[in-house]
Structure 1
Amino acid sequence: MEFNSKTVYLTVTLIGLVSMMGDIVYEGGRGAVPSYLQLLGASAFIVGLVSGLGDFVGYALRLVSGYLSDKSRAYWQFMFIGYGLIIAIPMLSITSFWPFAALLVVLERLGKAVRAPARDTIVSIVSKGVGVGKAFGLHELMDQIGAVMGPLIVSAILYFTSNNYTITFAALFIPYTILLITLSYVYFKVRGKVLENIGHETGGGSKSFSKDFYIYSL
């Protein structure tokens, strides 16, 4: 059963808003994290290691989370867990211990790995009625707006607070809260229809990839 166009655009826009708020938090915090870790006593080597490890976790574990979300069909749960872990960035405001701060940074990237495959699956299922490409284009646009706004907002807060990292990271609780409220609204708005369509679209994750898929991926 396809969604009507109004529901599709509303859902994709709201999921895009969720991603926008998430990127404001992450991309905003990302620029401040290296100098903050050094301020807490971490060496340049540790800062680089944390950054590299976080990116590795964020990408390498997507295959695992994607497989598990398909097998369990728990796409919404994976989204909530993944987006929930974004709280790790605002929580940097309450730590003065660099190992804990480093752990929070890696945890946020773990959240990215958990939420991305599930979110993309839901967007693809919802958008069948109007075109998957159009839906993903709208979602990516909003995502990139957040990626631009985040560093600008954090830079402004740092400037006006004389580089007060505690206030800066704490301010990111605001977009994080908007994220959770929006995601919850989308969940209660369309979860029934999404679950109804998942069985037809995913087949429970039982299908194997074709040879053409692997060639395209390479």
Structure 2
Amino acid sequence: MSGPVRSAPSAWRVVWWFGFVSLAADMVYEGARSVYGPVLAALGASAVVVGLVTGAGEAVALVMRLAFGPIADRTGRYWSLTILGYGLTAVCVPLLALAPRLGAAGLAFATTMILLERLGKAIRSPSKSALLAHVATAVGRGRGFGVHKALDQVGAFAGPLVVAGVVAVASLWWGMAVLAVPGAVAMVLLLTLRRRVPDPSAYDDSPTPATQQQPAEHPADRRGWWAEVVGAGLPADFFRYAVAASLTTGALVTFGIIGYHLTVDGLLPVAAVPVVYAAAMAVEAVAALAVGSVFDRTGPRVLLLVPVLVALVPALALGSALVAVLAGVVAWGVAQGVQDSTVKAVVADLVEAPRRATAYGVFAGVQGLFAIVGGVTAGWLYERSVPALVAVVALTQVVALALLADTFRRSALRR
């Protein structure tokens, strides 16, 4: 099929619809993530548990893409996986409101809901990106994905503010329950879009429709498929860079720990924590655009700033002075924004086009493994010695800085 049928919506309209789905869904999970620290603390969690849960959540969202990307490609069930992934987010986050009613089981229930929500992210992300890529071809993939990301960030900013308002006038748990509303909106939009645009490949010249099921893999090919999953044959410079970038990911203290610190140390009321998170989301969006622009003009050496920022975060954000803590949150937002955008651009310079999808999957997997180790370590050290946590993070970032500089030197990466 070479073009959309006459009754189908325009490509731009579909891009915007995808963007509004992400906006509503981001309100749900970013609104919840803004208070995961206080939520878990209210259920009796220690800093170690907060670090473990939030770190494991990030690991699930990254590592499991190694499985669900190939599953989507092999089955062709892009829409089904997208709907399942968003459905987990829409259902699991509001269910957190039930946790305090479950007594001793409340913490385990909340942990399960948080991890299932992050699993939903892993399930839907590869499939949603594949669907959107088809449609964005008709409007320019850069502009299409850019509009989608902008709407995504609007949700990431608005969700925490909604939670802050509800927590201020009601309670933390009503703040979770109210997120059922944008969750329902996201699902209605998504199901409507699925009905109106069953085959997004109609918007480009792809020879294989996005909804077409692929033939089952022959047993003889299984070894090759697993080799692809673990990145066999990718350049050594890629793996060196993946480790360096993952050291910054793993050492970046999660906002769950920061929110826990703000609440337990009495630096801010619970209702103010999601406002701080919303501000961090705004900083993240600006940083992603600004550093991305500098990267295009000057090359990857701008990324040598990331380990410096990551090292500053615990030194500032886990202190006792509110001004320093807020400065640390700004550093966290900048580092997060660069890691979610520009850091990934270097992969395209290190790996040839036919292997880039595999490379990005491996890259996310390595980041996920470092994220869970970093989350547990940060929580454990926070309870024992914040100066020790600061020192350990700084040491890992010296290693990351050296690896990044060596990778850029060996690869002669430049613009």
The answer to whether TM tops 0.5 is yes
Find the counterpart in structure 1 of residue 40 from structure 2: 37
Q: Helix, strand or coil for the counterpart of 1:129?
A: coil
Q: Which of 70, 82, 98 does residue 79 from structure 1 map onto?
A: 82
Give the structure 1 partner of residue 183 of structure 2.
Answer: 176
Q: Which has the higher helix share?
A: 1
- The match for 1:92 is 96
Shift of 1:189: 0.3
Match of 1:51 in 2: 54
The 2-side partners of 1:146 and 1:63 are apart by: 26
Report deviation, 1:199: 4.9
1:2–1:128: 8 Å Cα contact kept in structure 2? no
The residue type paired with residue 208 of structure 2 is H
Ranked by relative contact order (alpha carbons within 8 Å, sequence separation 6 or more), the top structure is: 1
1:2 aligns to what SS in structure 2? coil
TM-score (norm 1): 0.89
Cα distance, 1:130 vs structure 2: 1.6
Structure exhibiting the larger radius of gyration computed from Cα positions: 2
Query: 2: distance between equivalents of 1:104 and 1:61?
Result: 16
Structure 2 contact 137–203 (Cα < 8 Å) conserved: no
2:3 corresponds to which residue?
A: 2
Match status 1:212 vs 2:352? yes
Change beyond 3 A, Cα 1:2–1:35: same
Instruction: List alignment gaps of at least 5 residues for structure 2.
Output: 101-105, 218-224, 235-350, 364-415
- Is 2:208 aligned against 1:200? yes
1:193: Cα distance to partner? 5.0
Q: Structure 1 residues 193 and 99, CA, compared in 2 at 3 Å: closer, same or farther?
A: closer
Instruction: Identify the match of residue 122 of structure 1 among 118, 131, 136.
Output: 131
Secondary structure of residue in 2 paired with 1:59: helix
Letter in 1 for 2:160: P
Pairwise CA distance, 1:201: 6.6
The answer to which of 50-59 and 87-96 deviates more is: 87-96
Corresponding residue for residue 113 of structure 2: 104
Q: What RMSD over aligned residues (CA atoms) do the two structures have, in Å?
A: 2.7
What letter corresponds to residue 156 of structure 2 in structure 1? A
Gaps of 5+ in 1: none
2:20–2:152 Cα contact (<8 Å) kept: yes
Q: Distance in 2 between matches of 1:189 and 1:201?
A: 15
Which residue of the partner structure matches residue 69 of structure 2?
A: 66
Cα deviation per residue 1:118-141 (whole Å; 9 max; x = unaligned)?
000000112222211111011001
Deviations 1:76-109 (A, max 9, x none): 0000110001021111011221011011001100
How far is 1:195 from its partner?
A: 7.5
Amino acid at match of 1:95: A
1:141 to 150, 153, 165: 150
Q: Distance in 1 between matches of 2:154 and 2:165?
A: 17
1:21–1:179 contact (8 Å) kept in structure 2: yes
Residue aligned with 2:3, SS: coil
SS at match of 1:95: helix
> Paired residues, what number?
216
Q: 1:20–1:146: 8 Å Cα contact kept in structure 2?
A: yes
User: Structure 2 length as normaliser, TM-score?
Assistant: 0.48
The answer to whether the 8 Å contact 1:25/1:89 transfers is yes
